[in-house]
Amino acid sequence: MSSKAKILLIYTGGTIGMSKDFETGALKAFNFGKLLQNIPEIKQLDCNIETFSFEHPIDSSNMNPSMWTKIATIIEENYPKYDGFVVLHGSDTMSYSASALSFMLENLAKPVVFTGSQLPIGDLRTDAKENLITAIQIASLQENGKPVITEVCLYFEYKLYRGNRTSKVNAEHFRAFTAPNYPELVESGVHLKLNSHLFLPVKKDAKLIVHKNLDNHVAIIKMFPGMSEVVLSSILAIKDLKGIVLETYGSGNAPTEDWFLQLIQKAIQSGLQVVNVTQCSGGSVNMGQYETSTVLKSLGVISGKDITTEAAITKLMYLLGQNIPQNEFKDIFETALRGEISQ
């Protein structure tokens, strides 16, 4: 029996899988079946690779919760057969998908590595080959017959990040992602440098639970100086809205004007979950540090701490889908469930 790791490569779409029509210059969907033939280097990897492709590969701008469920289901159905999963995905919404999947896959004991590229795999200067090859290599890492990485990650441009810590920050550079509040799990140089102390510990003997109920009655509201009462009140009046991620300033600060605080108070009293995240790319919400956040704290606003907006909105969808009692929601949100916030 082969002791090589078995990897399932799941192709959802995105630039990585597109190829250039050299006559027209246009990018078009790739024949995924030929993917491995196009990268002969893959044969040198010490693993067995099988592939699964979305029937209609998408640009990741069209990603949505039902497709997250589809990815989760593919992983669930193939979980016993494979040692690791690599998800090929457009970079635009990859951080949202990696965050969502991290919440949906509870007790994960195998790696799920998202990757993609800024240039198609057939392009002369492509970043796709390195991203794909190293993502597969990382997903294949084993120690004593057990996967080394047991969480949802994102690999891009020589770095493996915890997926729910990432944001896409550049539409031009190959280094398109950062994880400002959590160091990289693996760095790829001449050797793979594993920062094992940063990995999520695996829960021994815990069975994989796949949560497929995501509630998208949510919104993200980014504060800006000059936001008017009518804008905020209109959003908060949306029928069936259950939660908002409020992107505030600095360490969680917002206006102290009466109309603003009263709208937030009314919303919370009517059962809306209000999560405070910072619009800064790094750092943490710390309500109470300034006068401009003290009232928010006393109103019962949830602290997103150092969570990314991508992880906050997907965690909100996940927790709202869990029917958590109202009085426990805040505490659960403020707890790190998959390493998405620093405790």
Q: Which residue is nearest to ligand ASP (CB)?
A: 90
Count of residues binding ligand ASP (CB under 6 A)?
A: 11
Catalytic residue among 12, 15, 69, 150: 15
In the stretch 4-33, what mask flags binding to ligand ASP with x, by CB under 6 A? Answer: ---------xxx------------------
Residues 81, 11, 109, CA angle at the centre, nearest 5°? 40
The Cα 146–Cα 252 span in angstroms is 41
Residue 57 near ligand ASP by CB under 6 A: no
Longest Cα separation, the chain: 70
Supply the minimum distance, in Å, between the C-beta of residue 189 and ligand ASP.
Answer: 24
Show contacts with ligand ASP in window 201-240 (CB under 6 A): none
DSSP, res 305? T
Burial-class residue 273 by CB neighbours within 10 Å (0-12, 13-18, 19+): buried
Taking each helix axis from N to C end, the angle separating 309-320 and 326-333, rounded to the nearest 10 degrees, works out to: 150
Show contacts with ligand ASP in window 279-318 (CB under 6 A): none
Residue 91 near ligand ASP by CB under 6 A: yes
Question: Strand, helix or coil at 111?
Answer: coil
15 is catalytic: yes
Residue among 42, 40, 35, 38 nearest 17 (CA): 35
Query: Contacting ligand ASP (CB under 6 A), which of 57, 65, 90, 252?
Result: 90
CB nearer to ligand ASP: give 79 or 174: 174
Residue among 109, 105, 104 nearest 148 (CA): 109
Query: Contacting ligand ASP (CB under 6 A), which of 30, 72, 92, 132?
Result: 92
Q: Confirm if 278 and 249 have CB atoms less than 8 A apart.
A: yes
Residue 130 near ligand ASP by CB under 6 A: no
The Cα 281–Cα 245 span in angstroms is 15
Active site residues: 15
Binding residues (CB under 6 A) for ligand ASP: these are 13-15, 59-61, 90-92, 116, 118
